[in-house]
Every structure is written in C-alpha cells, then in structure tokens.
Structure 1
Amino acid sequence: MMMKNKLTTKLEPFLDKIKANKKYQATLIIAYIVLTAGSLVLAQKSVIAFLLLLASLLLLHFTGLTDLKKWLIAGAVLVVILPVVASQGPAYQSYMEVACFVGIYVAMALGLNIVVGLAGLLDLGFVAFFAVGAYTYGIFATGQASKFMPFGEFPLPGESFWLFLIIGGIAAAIAGVIIGVPVLRVKGDYLAIVTLGFGEIIRIVFNNLDRPVNITNGAMGLISITPPKIFGFEFMYPSQFYYIVLVILVITVFAVRRLEYSKLGRSWKAVRENEIAAQAMGIPLVRTKLMAFAIGASFSGVMGVVFAAKQTFVDPTSFTLLESITILVMVLLGGMGSVPGVILGAAIMTILNLHVLTEFANWLNQLNLQGIISIPDALSPAKMQRFIFGAILIGFALYRPQGLLPAKNPVFNLEKLRKNKGKISSMISGTSQEPVARAEEAKR
C-alpha cells in the first residue's frame, strides 16, 4: 500500500501536466498509434494488436484536443493507417471484414439510437428496415425482378448501387412511417411487443412472397447480387467495401450529431422525458415520433443495401429477432442518447462476436485437438461462445448500468453567452432608437 501511494503521488504531477498540455496529449496519442501500428505489422496476424490500434480512437475521444484535430487524426487512422498496416499480413481481408461489419452495425445502432435513445420509443423490430433496404437492392440487382416486372432488363448494372443507396433509405423510411402510424397508439412495453410483431411480420412476408407472384424468391433467397461498380471499377472484396462503409458512416455520424442538437432533436428529447409537457409546449407528438421512426429507419435501409451488395446473397434468416435485440443491446451497452457511446457499444459487440470470441474458440479447439487440454463435448468452445458473450454483457450491465459512455448535456461558456447577449441587446436598442431620432429630426 505504501509503495502504491508513493507511486501515485509521483505520477499525479505528471498526469496533471499531461491533462493541462494538449501538445503532450497529441504527442502521446500519435506515439501510441505508431507503436500499435508497428506491432500489427510485426505480428501480421494478431487480434490483440488489431484491437489496440482500434483502441486509439477511444483514447482520442478522451483527449482535450479540438474536434478538428480529433477528426483529422481519426481520419488518418481509419483511411490510411489501418488499411495499410493490416494489408501487410495474411489476415488482411479478415480484418477488413470485421471493420466493414463494425461500420454497418454502428450505423444501424445510431439509427436505432434516434428511436430509442432520443425519442424514447422502444423498438424491437428495427431489423425489418434493414431487410427492406437489402431486398430493395437485391431484387433489382438480380434476375428476380424479371419474374414480375413486365419491362426493363435485369439484373441492373453495378452503377445502379449508388442510386439504390438513396432508394433503399427512402423505402425503409416509408416502411418506418407505415409501421409507426398504428404502433404509436400504444406506449411502453406494449410498444415493444407491437414493434416486435411487425418486425416478424415483415420477415415472414419476405419468406413467403414467392407465390402467387415470385417477388423475393421466398426461403431460397436472392443469389448472385450484382456488386457495386463505379468508373469501371468493381467492388468485390471487404477491403474495397470498407471505404464505402466508412464514407456512409461518417455521413451518418455527422447527420445524427446535427439532428441531436437541432429543433427536431430537442423535440425528441422533450417527448422522451414527458409527452404531456411536450404536447403542452406545442410539440406535435405524432409527427415528431413518426419523424424518429422514418429517419432512424432510413439509416438502417441504406446499410441494408450495402449488406446485400457485400454478401451477394440475401435470405430471410439474416433478419431475425435476435438481430434486432443485438442492435438494441448495442445502444443500451454504449449509453442511450450518446453518439460516442453507441459507436463504442456497437464496435465492442461486433468485434467480440465476430472476431475475439471466434478466435478464442478456434484457439481452444486447436489445443483440444493437439491433446494439450481436454474439453468435454458438452463444454466445447463453439457451444460456450454465446454463453461467454452473454456473461460479458451481464458484467457490463452490472458495473456500467448507464452505459459505457453515458449521454451528457452540452456545456456552454457562460461568459461567451453573456457577451453575445450584450451585443444582441445593444444592437436591438440601437436599432430601436434610430426611428425615434429620425422622427425628432423631422419635427425640427
């Protein structure tokens, strides 16, 4: 204990110096990025090095740097450093695959955060909008559309993908409004049950919409979906889709942040806190809630188009209730209403589910096959993977019930507001005195 106290007393001045000096913070974060990037190059296939490099974005969030510098450093990491460093080893495409799915789920979680975190509407059928976007592109990017369309040549070329990003978002927004109109008659737990039912209905409709007119090909799904193409360049690999997902994700984050502090965003928060008080203040409840459903669904629809083009295969099993619950847990884990928290929650859950636990299970299987350890069949790593995943989530929920990065109210500079208020009042008083002075001069 004495040694620990001495160590903390020696470190406190150093830590205070770092907190007060932004140059030190920038130097340390750049040194950390260089060190972790170098370790990933040397290790070539290391989950730990990959996660440490991604952790630099979380550390960057806690620094005192300006938003512009944070965006520039994060952009350098995501656009240049991560793809270049990961490409030096044999696990390049697997890293980019995980990064693509992280971006897809982050965008979907941000869309659900509008509905659940900002507007306070519990939605358990959010994956239905993801399915709408995926099938919107999948039907027309395969020969399936020729089975019920009397005109046109199908499949559409890969250049149509960029147009379908907009069409898929609009189709999902329309589906959100259609679902929202009857759903908004109920509240609380009943709202969750009804949205769950609508989500399952849409999945079942896609599963059975192969007769009497074959629109979705039913349970067989849609295969050989045309990949995106631009200027003759075709997107085929995860490392190429990574940049599409990254651009859409940046637009999504920017749009959600702008919406959060807009008049509509404040209306959502008012409805979330107290519907009666919000209505008394003149906020139209139905229109405000429908806007939340439509805007949140549009982000999911856009990512559904990307998912269909990336996987080149879509079937109803990709849009189950478990997917909706997973996206909701991402929002709850990160912190409802918090954009950085939702990004962190979605990234942690996706990386844990797709990469960390899978690699851990494979490692244990190899040890079992080599005879180093003996694992019973009932406790095989493949079977225990979901158990471990659930236990980790329970631990997060117990120790961080408000989320990993809870939502915070914006802090305003009072002195700056007072100065602006004084300028505005002086301008108003000056303009109000001008007509009086002109009238007195006219009388003279």
Structure 2
Amino acid sequence: MKEKLSMLLQKKSVQITLFTLFIIVTSSALYFSQKSVVSFLLLLSSLLILYYMNLKVVTKWLIALGLLFILIPFASSGGPAFHSYMEVATMVGIYIAMALGLNIVVGMAGLLDLGFVAFFAVGAYSYSIFATSQASNFMPFGEYPLSGSTFWGFLIIGGIMAAIAGVLIGVPVLRVKGDYLAIVTLAFGEIIRIIFNNLDRPINFTNGAMGIASITPPNLFGLEIIYPNQYYFIVLFILLFTIFAVNRLEHSKIGRAWKAVRENEIAAQAMGIPLVKTKLLAFALGASFSGIMGVVFAAKQQFIDPTSFTLLESFTILVMVVLGGMGSVPGAILGAALVTILNLQVLTELTNWLNQLSLQGVITIPDALTPAKLQRFIFGVLLVIFAIYRTKGLIPAKNKKFDVEQIKERAQKKAAISNIGSNDTDRVQA
C-alpha cells in the first residue's frame, strides 16, 4: 500500500493537483481570516514544497515568482495584520541575503567568520550618515540630508563600502587559520561596532550611542516608500539578484577555487590557486551582499544605533547557515527563513498566547521562562539536535555532477573539428 501511494505521489499530475489545492486552501484561509499566523506560515511553506516537487527548474521558478510577487502579498492583504506579515517577509528576505553572503565565506571558502554583522553595519551607516543632517558635521560642501532618490545609488555604494571593509579586515585576518581566524574576525566585528559607537567625537560622524534618527526614506518617481509592503518588493528584487549571483559564483571557476581551498589549502595552492586573492574575494563578495541589505535596513527602520549590530546578530546569521547546510544555497535560504520566522513571529505569538492564558488565570509562567526570553536557548537546542542527527544541515550541499562519457564525446568532436580545419588549411597552402 505504501509503495503504491509513493508511486502515486511521484506523478507530476498528482503533485500539481495537491499543490494547487494546498495553495487555494491556505491563501483563502489567510485572506478571509482577520489574523492567522498558521495560514501565513503554511502559505510560505508552499515554496519549500515546490522545491521538492518533480518539476523542471524553470517551471519551479515561474511558480515561485508568481507566489512571491502576486499571491502572498494579495492573500496577506485581507486583514489588519497585512503590514505585520509584510514586515516579517521583508526581514526574512534581508536575513536570507545576509546568510547567502556568509555562506560564501563560511560554506564555500571554509573561512569561519564570527563578525559578519560588521559589514551589515557599514552598509547601514553609509546611507544613514548622508540621508540625515549628520553629514553636514564633516562635509564642507553639499546640502544634507540627501533626497530619497539617492537611495538607489547607495545600494551600490553600500555594497562597495562593505566589500572594501571585507578586504581591509581580510588582509590581516588571513594570516591565521581555524579557531584563531574565528577569534580574530569576532574581534574585528566588535571593533567596528565600538568605532561606530564612539565616532561622535571629536567630529560627530555617527552620533555615537544615541544613533541616527529620521533617516530619509527612499523615493521612486515621486512616491515615498515608507510601508513594509513597499520594502517587501525592494528586498525581493535584491534577493533574486543575490540568489542568481551566488548560484553563478558557486558553479564558476572562482566557486570551484573556494571549494578547493575549503577542502585542502595546500593541495589548492599546489594546483595554482592563489590563496590570498581567492580568500579576499570571498570576504569582499560575501560582505557586499550584507552591505546592500544594510542600506535597505537603515532606510526601512529610519533609525539605527550600534545595538542593532551586536555579536549576537553575527551568531544568529551563522546559525542560519549551519542549520540550513553549509555551502548549500537552498539550505542557507531555508535556514535563514526558519530562524527569522521563529524569532520574529512564532516565539512572539507563542509568548502572547501564554501571556493571555496567564492573565485569564489558566496557567502561571514566570516572565523569564517565556519563549521570547528563551530564544537563544531554543536556538542552542536546535543546533545541538542538528549537530547530532543532521550533521550536514536541512538541505546539504550537492556538488554538480558531470557525465564523463558526454564530456569525452564533446572532446572527441572538438578534436575531430580541429583536425578537419587543419587539413583544410594544409590543402589551401599546398
């Protein structure tokens, strides 16, 4: 019976039918209910179900784009919780991009970085300083704050600034390996946070611990972008570019070089791979994606301060990569989505529900034992469980498989074509 059922579920027509019914039920429940976190999470889980379906890659991408751009925003707009849903989805996109950037450094190149949030801070401050009157403290020319239309240019500037910071940090850091590398990157992450915290004197660059407020929101064709559903689409476009870029890098020459360095540095160097250049490129590219999202985060929050870029944030991003699967692009996406949703919505909603029961006198739970307060404990338990039972993460990294016979046939065809060309050349010369 089980074999027949598994055979039936493997058919494309059955999968498409069940998936369509699932989408209709969850989206309808989300649209017509005033607030249903369960329906929202189930609708988001349809993207994971789509990943495992027996369909062509192009078909999966088209369906996923339809869900992300049309169905999820529309289904979420049916009740008063629309903006809270879009806020969660936007933060999920921001953390996914950061996890993909860290995945380049840790998962592909094998460089344990515990200060990755520093690049996020560099991108955030690069926009915040010039999008407020803060820049007038040290800039002898220009009028500040800059208009919201400059946000689009600062997406590139923030990425470049973060990449430069990645290179500057990487140059002294790459002299060490393993645990020492992790300790040094952790120190650099804290150093950058402390620098931003103290750059309010003698010249006030960052306003120190008070933070930078009233950051100018983005502007597109005269439309001011201030709502979470608007930022959702901005993050979505950037995220699609990030996924495309990381996929291309993974299967490129530099991606193979990163994996070779990760597996064995001595063997990689013996094969002609420049270690320093390859590692610095991993730091720079990984940091650039984090810097871009830092600009978006600053514009969305309209306020930043050094407490937004603590060491715990770096650990959280690392948890996302390890939980999903180091070196795996789909794994990093899934890990970042699960941790962010667990942090921002599931634990918060569970805490609110327990508080309501406590107020009604049903149960009594100490404030220190609420799920929101036990967030780090829950993440630690998850890591221990996955370290024991799922050592390679939720979606382990898979190397691209090549057909040896097909490669030999192509080589023989090329050799035959070159021989024909050389024979024709000899005849012409004769």
TM-score interval (norm. to shorter): over 0.9
Aligned twin of 1:4: none
Of residues 91, 107, 114, the one that matches 1:124 is 114
Contact 2:347 2:372 (8 Å CA) reproduced: no
Q: Distance in 1 between matches of 2:24 and 2:262?
A: 43
Contact 2:102 2:116 (8 Å CA) reproduced: yes
Amino acid at match of 2:399: N
Contact 1:123 1:196 (8 Å CA) reproduced: yes
Aligned twin of 2:343: 353
Deviations 1:43-88 (A, max 9, x none): 3311211111111111111112111111100001100000000000
Of residues 327, 334, 357, the one that matches 1:337 is 327
**1:77-88 paired onto structure 2 within 5 Å:** 77-88=67-78
**1:210-229 paired onto structure 2 within 5 Å:** 210-229=200-219
Report how many aligned residue pairs link the two structures: 430
What is the TM-score normalised by the length of structure 1?
Answer: 0.94
Q: Distance in 2 between matches of 1:249 and 1:388?
A: 28
The answer as to 2:254 corresponding to 1:283 is no
Contact 1:336 1:407 (8 Å CA) reproduced: yes
Contact 1:361 1:385 (8 Å CA) reproduced: no
Contact 1:40 1:50 (8 Å CA) reproduced: yes
Q: Distance in 2 between matches of 1:322 and 1:361?
A: 21
Of residues 81, 84, 103, the one that matches 1:94 is 84
Amino acid at match of 2:407: L
In structure 2, the CA distance between the partners of 1:95 and 1:178, relative to structure 1 (3 Å rule), is same
Deviations 1:160-202 (A, max 9, x none): 0000000000000000010000000000000000001110000
The answer as to 2:6 corresponding to 1:15 is yes
SS of the aligned residue for 2:382 comes to: helix
Aligned twin of 2:50: 60
Contact 2:347 2:371 (8 Å CA) reproduced: no
**1:35-434 paired onto structure 2 within 5 Å:** 35-414=25-404, 416-434=406-424
What is the TM-score normalised by the length of structure 2?
Answer: 0.97
Q: Distance in 2 between matches of 1:373 and 1:267?
A: 57
In structure 2, the CA distance between the partners of 1:71 and 1:40, relative to structure 1 (3 Å rule), is same
Aligned twin of 1:3: none
Contact 2:199 2:205 (8 Å CA) reproduced: yes
Aligned twin of 2:428: 438
Q: Distance in 2 between matches of 1:405 and 1:382?
A: 27
Q: Distance in 2 between matches of 1:325 and 1:87?
A: 34
Contact 1:123 1:195 (8 Å CA) reproduced: yes
Amino acid at match of 1:269: K
Contact 2:325 2:397 (8 Å CA) reproduced: yes
Contact 1:93 1:238 (8 Å CA) reproduced: yes
Amino acid at match of 2:44: L
Q: Distance in 1 between matches of 2:274 and 2:169?
A: 18
Q: Distance in 2 between matches of 1:17 and 1:427?
A: 47
Amino acid at match of 2:258: W
SS of the aligned residue for 1:140 comes to: coil
Amino acid at match of 1:354: L
Q: Distance in 2 between matches of 1:382 and 1:343?
A: 23
Rg bigger for which structure?
1
Contact 2:26 2:43 (8 Å CA) reproduced: yes
Show structure 1 runs of 5+ residues with no match: 1-9
Amino acid at match of 1:278: A
Please, which moves more after superposition, 406-415 or 141-150? 406-415
Q: CA offset at residue 419 of structure 1? A: 4.0
Contact 1:365 1:381 (8 Å CA) reproduced: no
Amino acid at match of 1:429: N
Deviations 1:243-302 (A, max 9, x none): 000000000000000000111111111111111111111111111110000000000000
Contact 1:44 1:86 (8 Å CA) reproduced: no
